[in-house]
Amino acid sequence: MKRKLLGVIDATTYHEDLEDLVIHRSLAALPFGGRYRIIDFVLSSMVNSGIRSVAIFPKMQYRSLMDHLGSGKNWDLNRKRDGLFFFPSPIVDSDGKRIGSFENFAANMDFFYRSTQEYAIIANCNAIFNMNFRPILESHLDAKCDITEIRHQDGSSMEMYLVKTSLLIKLIETRHETGYTCMKDVVTALSNEYTICQYEYNGYAVMIDSIDSYFSTSMKLLDAKVWKQLFLKDQPIITKVKDEPPTKYIQGSLVKNAMIANGCHISGTVENSIVARGVKIGKGAVIKNCIIMQKCQIDENCYLDSVILDKDVKVEEGTYLVGTEQNPYVIRKGTKQGALMNS
């Protein structure tokens, strides 16, 4: 690809419906699929498309995001030239729903001025997909577009935009004169001087913007058809490497249609669930239709159905927790849930 792409990921996104899961972390760092974080999908798509310079613009609670990404080594972005960049947003009261906020970008204009990539992909941090951006650039050039908005096959915007880097700089610099605050403003303006194009993406893609969408999308990973659309051999989803031992299944345990990460200790029953690294499930415990995040401990004879346990949750012996597919029971990170607490 002669014309190089710059990757820009807006990680300021915030949705109140996800508060229980993002109160201590950025939405971009929300665990997904037992061993991934949501940002892994857009970042891996960029890297697999040949992008070697990626800027991430987080807002608040970004410690876990930085811990996960580190220097970018796992994505081959720890480079002497280009690589991975973090630019925390100076605007603490932004609503987190304007993807590609020009005010956030303006605080780090030197990065854009120094970038050598001719074009830029501006993307959100909360979409689950696996995309090759090269065909989008080819379509953008062939149609002589100024801005290309990526849309899903149902017509909805994926909140991703391809634009010439020089034009992006101009939009940022003239934001006060034009009134454009973000890329969406430019694309949806009734009249402007730019040629706006749409690119239809036909692959699997879901926006995570609520507990319901997070839970349902996670559960769909247990469907082999969905799994095969997301996890491609020639376009791997890359994540932070953790050296942990294999999961240990104790005699008498039972696992059906589940994703179990490394380092777990399973003595009970796990069915139609996603279990992250280092989880302990006691004898006689039954886990159905659940998302269990890293290092949770579920004691003996518990029953959990349609439950999301955030990291480091302890569920005491004999506890009974039941949610629904539309309204899963959510336990916040690091809390303890006991039998006497249930009603």
Mean pLDDT in order along the chain per 10 residues (343 residues): 83 90 93 96 97 92 92 94 90 64 92 96 96 96 96 93 97 94 91 91 95 97 94 95 91 96 97 97 98 97 98 96 95 82 43
Q: Fold for domain 248-341?
A: UDP N-Acetylglucosamine Acyltransferase; domain 1 (2.160.10)
Give the pLDDT of residue 191. Answer: 78
- Provide the pLDDT for residue 94: 56
The amino acid that residue 152 corresponds to is H
Q: What is the pLDDT of residue 343?
A: 37
Among 161, 87, 177, 170, CA closest to 121:
161
Q: How far apart are CA 22 and CA 61, in angstroms?
A: 8
pLDDT digit string (tens) for 253-283? 999 999 999 999 999 999 999 999 999 999 9
Which residues are CB-neighbours of 241 under 8 A, at least 6 positions away?
74
Assigned fold of 5-230: Spore Coat Polysaccharide Biosynthesis Protein SpsA; Chain A (3.90.550)
Residue ranges of the domains in the chain?
A: 5-230, 248-341
Q: How far apart are CA 324 and CA 37, in angstroms?
A: 24
Please, what's the b/e burial string for 158-176 (b: 16 or more CB within 10 A of its CB; e: otherwise)? bbbbbbbbeebbebbeebe
297-322: pLDDT as tens digits: 999 999 999 999 999 999 999 999 99
Tokens of 114: 């120094």
